[in-house]
Amino acid sequence: MRIRRGIALAAACLTAASLCSCAGQKIEIENAVPSSKIEGSTLCVRKVENLPEDFIMGMDASSVIAEENSGVKYFGFDGQEQDVFKTLAEAGLNTIRVRVWNDPFDPEGRGYGGGNCDINNAVMIGRRATQYGMSLLVDFHLSDFWADPGKQFAPKAWAELDAESKAKETKRFVKESLKALKKAGVSVRMVQIGNETNGKLCGESSWESICRIIQAGCEACREVFPKALTAVHFANPEKASSYANYAASLNEYGVDYDVFASSYYPYWHGTLENLGEVLNNIGRSYNKKVMVMETSYAYTGEDSDFSGNTISAGESVKPYPFTVHGQANCVRDVIDTVVNGMENGIGVVYWEGTWITVGTESWEKNHELWEKYGSGWASSYAASYDPEDAGKYYGGCAVDNQAMFAPDGKPLESLRVFNLVRYGNDVSPTPDAVEDVELTVDLGSEIALPQTVAAVMTDNSRIALPVVWDVSAERLAQMSAGGPAVYTVNGAAEGGFAVKCTIRTVAFNYLENSGFESGRLEPWRVTERGSASELYVENKATDSLSGTWHFHFWSSKRNSVDFSLEQDVTALPAGKYSFTVSIMGGDCGAAEIYAYALVDGIEAGRAPLVITSYGNWDTALIDGIEIPEGSVLTVGVSVKCEGEGSGAWGKIDEAAVNSSH
């Protein structure tokens, strides 16, 4: 997880508190993992078929101790206060993940925050996880604070070391840390060396050095916990070629590891199908186990601790509604993908589902706790180690809306998903959320709002629900008669769901196939005056100004490019009109490129277009074109490239003929 910053605020000077130590007492092992389905849940969970008994159902709970020190209380499903690890075990989790930073404290011993997760913290969490029959998954960042694709700082004490010495220190540190866990009687199931190490680790960026350090950590694990699995961990599975490269590098430098793990955050990390394919390929190619090491999903768009969240209601990629059921369905589908979408999938770990607000009174009160106990993502004391990010943007929890506990410490119903995926929970789906509507309407035409909206059901299916919009016919008529604009109309769907309709009024475009989205040229026509190698309609979203299609030209010989692309518009009401069109491209040399308008074949306007470089679209506008009754308007683009050389190319898109206002 890449932690996003909140708001920069002046540092309050507070004294540090050391973490409470509860070592020493004898641990009673209590196997609380339910062997049967939790009855009475309203969660609509489809069973995950082929789910192995020993599948890793994990929860990263690294910040629990700092949370408890800050006064947070956790409750069981019965509403009574109880050890949060007992509740997690009761919910069907069998593994607790904890991050370990080497030395997350400043010279005065004040914690950097993010749970102040040193090895002592891991021991405390490990003992409690073990007490309730769960195993520990230890996540060594090999840094003094957050390590993710954006930063992989070496620990302070290792700053001056070369890669070989860092590898030696890694072996020593991992070994000592694991011995402390072993001594405390902690059941360790997996050890992860490096966190989201996308091409960097411990301040090193050559794969030879990275692999040497990972290998040292894996060796330490094999010596202390020979039965534990060793894991590597990366982020951004949507970049399949990067993942293939990471796996190939680990192989090339002979790293002896067991599990290739990935983060999967649905807002940023591509589709589940892609995740399955990418991990499956690596698992098969290198004979490795694969898993999702971090995932989470928002159950609300609201923040609860006065410190902004990584994900909020306006998030554009939102495959499930931000509800408790949406969160559960997301987790269910991630588990299903790891079980059935890849051959060697062994587990899913939810990230920081226990990290909730430390208070609901004020930012000031929470800030005091974040600073004192490290329960925010970063304290001001992190400035000495990470001045550019934590030092400026320190604050509270950025994922409290993705937790699986409510702000009051009570477990959300979604937490039961880890148990219910084993059996399925066949309750009747009910409407859970409604999808907002977007309309684009031509100015001057009637605005017809839909009579139903799509309701997302608790099983993630969709039904149509009747809706009543809070807008008068007169108001809609005004919108239609006005200029281009964006309006929001509120509505109420059956069952009391609030819904929004965004209405975009746009000038009517008299051109047909104005952005080539039909996939054909017609009714455009090309007049070829030269002999360009390629002149056609192309389907490539990244080269289109909008949609996925555009008109493409390319030539092996620059001065062979000489053509026009035009369209006739007939039966226009008499009046004034405008024509716009856009172009981009490159390598066109001395070129003469322009948009033009002809009325009954006679030039009525011309506007130059410039081709510069990839992605830099130039838009021409010809305005005030007078069209008498019964005349034909012809609009187009003329492109003529001159000079020696090869490779002149370009893309034309988004043409429009509108009434002038």
Are 51 and 421 in contact by the 8 Å Cβ rule? The answer is: yes
- Given the residues 68, 294, 371, 654, the one annotated as active site: 294
Select from 133-141, 149-157, 391-399, 571-579 the region that touches Ca ion (CB under 5 A).
Answer: 391-399
Instruction: Output the smallest distance, CB 66 to Ca ion, in A.
Output: 15
Instruction: Output the smallest distance, CB 59 to Ca ion, in A.
Output: 19
- Given the residues 68, 196, 566, 654, the one annotated as active site: 196
Are 397 and 5 in contact by the 8 Å Cβ rule? The answer is: no
Select from 89-97, 116-124, 396-404, 436-444 the region that touches Ca ion (CB under 5 A).
Answer: 396-404
Work out which of 139, 196, 258, 303 binds Ca ion, going by CB under 5 A: 303
Are 489 and 503 in contact by the 8 Å Cβ rule? The answer is: yes
The 3-class secondary structure across 294-323, one letter per residue, is EECCCCCCCCCCCCCCCCCCCCCCCCCCCC
* Nearest to Ca ion of 34, 301 (CB atom): 301
What is the C-alpha to C-alpha distance for residues 421 and 367, in angstroms, rounded to an integer?
Answer: 38
Q: 577 in the Ramachandran plot: left (φ > 0), alpha (ψ -120 to 50) or beta?
A: beta
Instruction: Output the smallest distance, CB 360 to Ca ion, in A.
Output: 11
Select from 58-66, 171-179, 304-312, 331-339 the region that touches Ca ion (CB under 5 A).
Answer: 304-312
Give the number of C-alpha atoms closer than 13 A to the C-alpha of residue 587, restricted to the C-beta side.
Answer: 15
What is the C-alpha to C-alpha distance for residues 20 and 65, in angstroms, rounded to an integer?
Answer: 8
What is the C-alpha to C-alpha distance for residues 301 and 330, in angstroms, rounded to an integer?
Answer: 16
* Nearest to Ca ion of 397, 437 (CB atom): 397
Are 56 and 95 in contact by the 8 Å Cβ rule? The answer is: yes
Instruction: Output the smallest distance, CB 413 to Ca ion, in A.
Output: 21
Instruction: Output the smallest distance, CB 395 to Ca ion, in A.
Output: 8
Instruction: Output the smallest distance, CB 19 to Ca ion, in A.
Output: 22
Instruction: Output the smallest distance, CB 351 to Ca ion, in A.
Output: 15
The residue behind tokens 């979203």 is: 541
277 among known catalytic residues: no
Q: Which of 260, 258, 191 is nearest to 225 (CA)?
A: 191
Residue type, 345: G
Are 110 and 381 in contact by the 8 Å Cβ rule? The answer is: yes
* Nearest to Ca ion of 187, 366 (CB atom): 366
Work out which of 333, 371, 400, 413 binds Ca ion, going by CB under 5 A: 400
Instruction: Output the smallest distance, CB 399 to Ca ion, in A.
Output: 7
What is the C-alpha to C-alpha distance for residues 305 and 405, in angstroms, rounded to an integer?
Answer: 14
Contacting residues for 576 by C-beta, under 8 A, at least 6 apart? 624, 625, 626, 627, 659, 660
Per DSSP bridges, beta strands 649-659 and 549-554 are antiparallel
* Nearest to Ca ion of 257, 370 (CB atom): 370
Work out which of 295, 309, 375, 580 binds Ca ion, going by CB under 5 A: 309
Select from 178-186, 237-245, 392-400, 531-539 the region that touches Ca ion (CB under 5 A).
Answer: 392-400
Select from 22-30, 297-305, 366-374, 487-495 the region that touches Ca ion (CB under 5 A).
Answer: 297-305
Distance of CA 517 to the CA centre of its chain: 29
* Nearest to Ca ion of 102, 309 (CB atom): 309
Instruction: Output the smallest distance, CB 411 to Ca ion, in A.
Output: 19
What is the C-alpha to C-alpha distance for residues 650 and 550, in angstroms, rounded to an integer?
Answer: 10
- Contact code string over 111-140 relative to Ca ion, x by CB under 5 A: ------------------------------
> In 3-state terms, what secondary structure has residue 96?
strand
Total residues found in the chain within this entry: 661
What is the C-alpha to C-alpha distance for residues 488 and 485, in angstroms, rounded to an integer?
Answer: 10
| Residue 527 parent element (H or E) | strand 525-528
The 3-class secondary structure across 111-141, one letter per residue, is ECCCCCCCHHHHHHHHHHHHHCCCEEEEEEC
* Nearest to Ca ion of 301, 450 (CB atom): 301
In DSSP terms, 437 is beta-bridged to: 501
* Nearest to Ca ion of 102, 300 (CB atom): 300
Q: 283 in the Ramachandran plot: left (φ > 0), alpha (ψ -120 to 50) or beta?
A: alpha
Total of chain residues touching Ca ion, rule CB under 5 A: 6
364 among known catalytic residues: no
Distance of CA 540 to the CA centre of its chain: 24
The answer to the question of residue 352 lying near Ca ion (CB under 5 A) is no
The answer to the question of residue 305 lying near Ca ion (CB under 5 A) is yes
* Nearest to Ca ion of 18, 360 (CB atom): 360
What is the C-alpha to C-alpha distance for residues 413 and 329, in angstroms, rounded to an integer?
Answer: 12
Instruction: Output the smallest distance, CB 294 to Ca ion, in A.
Output: 18
The residue behind tokens 């109309």 is: 489
DSSP E strands, 547-615: 549-554, 562-569, 575-586, 590-599, 602-608
Instruction: Output the smallest distance, CB 70 to Ca ion, in A.
Output: 14
Select from 102-110, 168-176, 393-401, 436-444 the region that touches Ca ion (CB under 5 A).
Answer: 393-401
Residue type, 102: N
* Nearest to Ca ion of 392, 500 (CB atom): 392
Q: 585 in the Ramachandran plot: left (φ > 0), alpha (ψ -120 to 50) or beta?
A: left
The answer to the question of residue 60 lying near Ca ion (CB under 5 A) is no
Token pair for 103:
């030395």
* Nearest to Ca ion of 297, 579 (CB atom): 297
Work out which of 95, 307, 419, 555 binds Ca ion, going by CB under 5 A: 307
Check residue 203 and report its DSSP letter. T
* Nearest to Ca ion of 309, 555 (CB atom): 309
Select from 70-78, 390-398, 440-448, 573-581 the region that touches Ca ion (CB under 5 A).
Answer: 390-398
- Residues classed as catalytic: 196, 294
Binding site for Ca ion (CB under 5 A): 303, 305, 307, 309, 397, 400
